[in-house]
């Protein structure tokens, strides 16, 4: 047995205080040492700078220090854990949760370039770095599904096709919306209102809420059981990358609202559409094999959304508060 | 009996019946009841119309672009017909997709990914309003794609 805390313990803990030494460990660990970092500390770290957001050049410089080589990961112990130690229920539950990420990483990689066209020069550096991060995350899942899960295919799309049967139909809600908003930006790259709507879906909802919640579910399972060390290492490093993406995205939205307070309406309208489509599941997902219940995942969603909105200073309208009470988890991220 | 041509008036009539009937029992069995409850709720009040375009319709089907016009009202399809290139195009949402992607949808390609991979695109209409009912749209798109029809082979470019 393990003496590690249960996967859901942090839900009842409240916000953590990170010491300077912990922050240094998160920021400066090389890939091999990421295995020792606690995922709950990394998720806390995402919020660390939300109240005083770093500028885009600082985020770009962090990227240069933190990028990692996805081909350095060695999945051989993960293969043993997957095949010999995990139960069939655990594998199925894991696939149902991770497959939304496999597809989500690809989607956020290919939808981001159009957002760069209308960005400031400093933000362009950050976005260029983020596109490379998302490409690396796509390769990370491609390697995991190929080498650990054992899906077969000649190229990246073959592996995506093979994992797609595990993706819920409701995935098209946030990710179809992002695809269409990216197309809107392709046609009107300097439309600031369209950019804010796109940013709300991409940075606030998909990265800030969905991704961080779902990362936490599989990573806290892996840490709790002591399984899948290369998955834990690569995906925790991914989470550290996401902290830069969320901070950059929240900076973009915060600046847009400060420049033009009526932009809050674009954020609200976008959240309204997202919450309308987030009140239903198309499949029954069993989280229990990974140590979670559906209600606990919902609580995690709310915590993630509230903290972003509070820290960045975005308030919700009463009808959005009402919609929020009906939200069901979508198992995906980017 | 000769098979109905894709994007013919006969095909539009069959599409209308198929949309009124909704997804097959087999499709319904694969997803949760709460998902279909939402689908039926939206269907019962959906007030909008779609013009679903096919770009580069093969010459033997009349050439393109052409649009399938679908008007919803009171839980049923109130109007369903082909709009030719010379007729006015007025619908709440105008979308369009290449012939090759319509054919792929008919051959079994997933309707959700047809949206997510931007094979079908929104050309006119309010994007955020359209997406509030995206599951309803995606399921209807799958129903339309599944209607039996003759889709001529693609001519290699
Ligand atoms: Fe990201
Ligand atoms: Fe990512």
In this predicted model, what pLDDT tens digit does every residue of B87-113 receive, in sequence order? 888 999 999 999 999 999 999 999 999
What range defines the domain where residue A147 resides? 7-327
Cα gap B96→B85, rounded to integer Å: 13
- On whether residue A39 sits in a domain, the answer given is yes
Do B112 and A169 lie within an 8 Å CB cutoff? yes
Tally of domains within chain A = 1
User: Can you tell me the mean pLDDT for A1-28?
Assistant: 71
HEC letters along A250-308:
HHHHHHHHHHCHHHHHHHHHHHHHHHHCCCCCCCCCCCHHHCCCHHHHHHHHHHHHHHH
Give how far B4 is from chain A: nearest CA, Å: 30
Compute the nearest-CA separation of A282 from chain B (Å): 5
CATH number of B9-146: 3.30.1050.10
Residue A241: per-residue pLDDT:
95
The lowest-confidence range among A33-47, A117-131, A156-170 is A33-47
Percent of chain A predicted with pLDDT > 70? 93
How far is the CA of A93 from the CAs of A184, A262, A284, B85, B124, in angstroms? 35, 43, 10, 50, 40
Of B109, B107, B101, B113, give the one whose Cα is nearest residue B149: B107
Beta strands B93-98 and B121-124, pairing class: antiparallel
Say which range, A48-62, A95-109, B132-146, has the weakest mean pLDDT. A48-62
| Contact status of A184 with chain B (Cβ, < 8 Å) | yes
Q: What is the pLDDT of residue A1?
A: 39
Does residue A332 sit within a domain? no
Please give the pLDDT value at position A2. Answer: 44
Is residue A46 predicted with pLDDT exceeding 80?
no
**C-beta atoms surrounding A195 within 10 Å:** 25
A224 CB-near residues (< 8 Å, 6+ apart): A2, A4, A5, A6, A7, A291
The pLDDT of residue A326 is above 80: no
Q: Is residue A30 part of a domain?
A: yes
Domain-located, residue A38: yes
DSSP state of A325: T
- Do A181 and A205 touch, CB atoms closer than 8 A? no
pTM: 0.93
Residue A314, pLDDT score: 83
Q: How far apart are CA B90 and CA B83, in angstroms?
A: 10
pLDDT at B26: 93
Judged by DSSP in three states, B79 sits in strand
Instruction: Name the band, by pLDDT with cuts 50, 70 and 90, for residue A328.
Output: low
The reply to whether A265 falls in a domain is yes
B residues 19..78 contacting A (CB < 8 A): 31-32, 34-35, 38
Chain B environment of A277 (Cβ under 8 Å): 131-132, 134-135
Burial (CB count <10 Å: 0-12, 13-18, 19+), residue B29: exposed
Which residue has better confidence, A255 or A36? A255
Q: A182: domain CATH number?
A: 1.10.620.20
Mean pLDDT of A131-145: 97
Mean pLDDT score of chain A: 89
Question: Which of A15, A101, A129 has its CA nearest to residue A334?
Answer: A101
Are A172 and B38 an interchain contact pair (Cβ–Cβ within 8 Å)?
no
pLDDT surpassing 80 at residue A50: no
Spans in chain B with pLDDT lower than 50: none
Q: First vs last Cα of chain A: how many Å apart? A: 33
Round to whole Å and give the CA distance between B149 and B14. Answer: 10
- Residues B138, A172 contacting (CB under 8 angstroms): yes
pLDDT at A267 over 80: yes
Position A256 confidence tier, pLDDT thresholds 50, 70, 90: very high
Alpha carbon distance A308, A241 (integer Å): 17
- H/E element, B66: strand B66-73
**Which member of B32, B129, B134 has the closest CB to residue A176?**
B134
Complete edge-to-edge strand list for the sheet that includes strand B49-55: B76-83, B66-73, B49-55, B93-98, B121-124
Instruction: Determine the average pLDDT of the residues in A253-270.
Output: 94
In this predicted structure, the answer to whether residue A305 has a pLDDT above a threshold of 70 is: yes
φ, ψ for residue A298, nearest 5 deg: -60, -45
Beta-bridged to residue B67, according to DSSP, are B53, B83
| pLDDT at residue A10, as a whole number | 66
More confident residue, A273 or A302: A273
- Of the candidates B32, B38, B131, which has its C-beta nearest A273's C-beta? B131
Q: Residue A84 pLDDT > 60, yes or no?
A: yes
Q: Is B116 close to A179, i.e. CB distance below 8 A?
A: yes
Residue B134 contacts A where some CB pair is shorter than 8 Å: yes
Q: Name which of A172, A273, A241, A225 is nearest A31 in CA terms.
A: A241
The full DSSP string for A214-253 is HHHHHHHHHHHHT--HHHHHHHHHHHHHHHHHHHHHHHHH
In angstroms, the separation between the Cα of residue B157 and the nearest Cα of chain A is: 23
Cis before B65 (ω within 30): yes
Task: Report phi then psi at A56, rounded to 5.
Answer: -70, -30
- Whether A107 and B116 lie within 8 Å, measured CB to CB: yes
Give the count of beta carbons closer than 10 Å to the beta carbon of residue A82.
Answer: 21
Per 3-state DSSP, chain A is made up of helix, strand and coil in percentages (nearest 5) of 75, 0, 25
Section A131-143 average pLDDT: 97
Residue A56 domain flag: yes
Average pLDDT over residues A274-299: 82
Q: Average pLDDT for residues A63-71, to the nearest whole number?
A: 96
A293 pLDDT more than 70: yes
User: Residue A2 falls within a domain, yes or no?
Assistant: no
CB contact under 8 A, A170 and B138: no
ipTM passes above 0.85: yes
Decide if pLDDT at A295 tops 60.
yes
DSSP state string for A43-75: HHHHHHTSSSPPPHHHHHHHHHHH---GGG---
Q: What was the pLDDT predicted at B156? A: 67
Banded model confidence at residue A47, pLDDT cuts 50, 70, 90: confident
Give the residue, A308 or A246, on which the prediction is more confident. Answer: A246
User: Tokens 């949309």 sit at which residue?
Assistant: B19
């Amino acid at each position: 047995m393990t003496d590690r805390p249960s996967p859901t313990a942090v839900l009842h803990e409240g916000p953590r205080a990170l010491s300077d030494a912990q922050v240094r460990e998160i920021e400066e660990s090389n890939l091999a040492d990421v295995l020792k970092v606690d995922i709950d500390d990394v998720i806390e770290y995402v919020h660390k700078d939300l109240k005083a957001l770093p500028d885009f050049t600082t985020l770009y410089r962090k990227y240069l220090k933190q990028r990692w080589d996805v081909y350095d990961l060695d999945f051989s112990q993960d293969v043993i854990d997957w095949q010999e130690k995990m139960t069939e229920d655990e594998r199925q539950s894991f696939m149902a949760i991770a497959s939304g990420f496999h597809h989500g990483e690809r989607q956020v990689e290919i939808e981001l370039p159009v957002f760069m066209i209308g960005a400031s020069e400093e933000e362009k550096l950050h976005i260029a770095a983020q596109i490379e991060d998302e490409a690396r995350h796509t390769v990370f899942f491609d390697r995991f599904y190929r080498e650990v899960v054992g899906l077969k295919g000649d190229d990246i799309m073959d592996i995506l096709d093979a994992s797609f049967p595990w993706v819920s139909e409701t995935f098209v809600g946030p990710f179809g919306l992002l695809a269409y908003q990216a197309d809107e930006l392709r046609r009107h790259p300097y439309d600031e209102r369209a950019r804010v709507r796109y940013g709300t879906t991409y940075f606030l909802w998909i990265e800030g809420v969905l991704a961080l919640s779902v990362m936490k579910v599989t990573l806290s399972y892996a840490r709790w059981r002591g399984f899948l060390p290369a998955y834990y290492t690569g995906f925790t490093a991914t989470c550290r990358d996401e902290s830069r993406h969320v901070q950059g995205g929240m900076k973009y939205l915060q600046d847009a609202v400060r420049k033009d307070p009526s932009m809050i309406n674009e954020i609200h309208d976008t959240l309204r559409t997202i919450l309308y489509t987030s009140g239903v599941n198309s499949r029954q997902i069993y989280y229990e094999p990974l140590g979670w219940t559906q209600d606990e995942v919902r609580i995690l969603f709310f915590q993630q959304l509230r903290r972003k909105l509070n820290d960045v200073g975005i308030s919700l309208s009463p009808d959005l508060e009402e919609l929020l009470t009906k939200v069901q988890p979508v198992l995906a991220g980017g | 009996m000769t098979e109905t041509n894709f994007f013919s008036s006969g095909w539009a009539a069959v599409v209308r019946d198929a949309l009124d009937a909704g997804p097959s029992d087999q499709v319904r069995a694969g997803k949760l009841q709460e998902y279909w409850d939402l689908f039926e709720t939206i269907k019962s009040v959906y007030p909008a119309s779609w013009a679903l375009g096919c770009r580069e319709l093969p010459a033997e089907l009349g050439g393109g672009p052409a649009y399938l016009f679908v008007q919803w009202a009171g839980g049923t399809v109130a109007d369903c017909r082909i709009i030719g290139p010379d007729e006015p195009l007025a619908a709440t949402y105008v979308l369009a997709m290449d012939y090759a992607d319509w054919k792929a949808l008919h051959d079994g390609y997933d309707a959700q990914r047809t949206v997510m991979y931007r094979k079908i695109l929104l050309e006119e209409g309010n994007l955020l309003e359209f997406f509030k009912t995206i599951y309803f749209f995606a399921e209807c798109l799958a129903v339309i794609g599944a209607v039996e029809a003759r889709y001529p082979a693609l001519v290699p470019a």
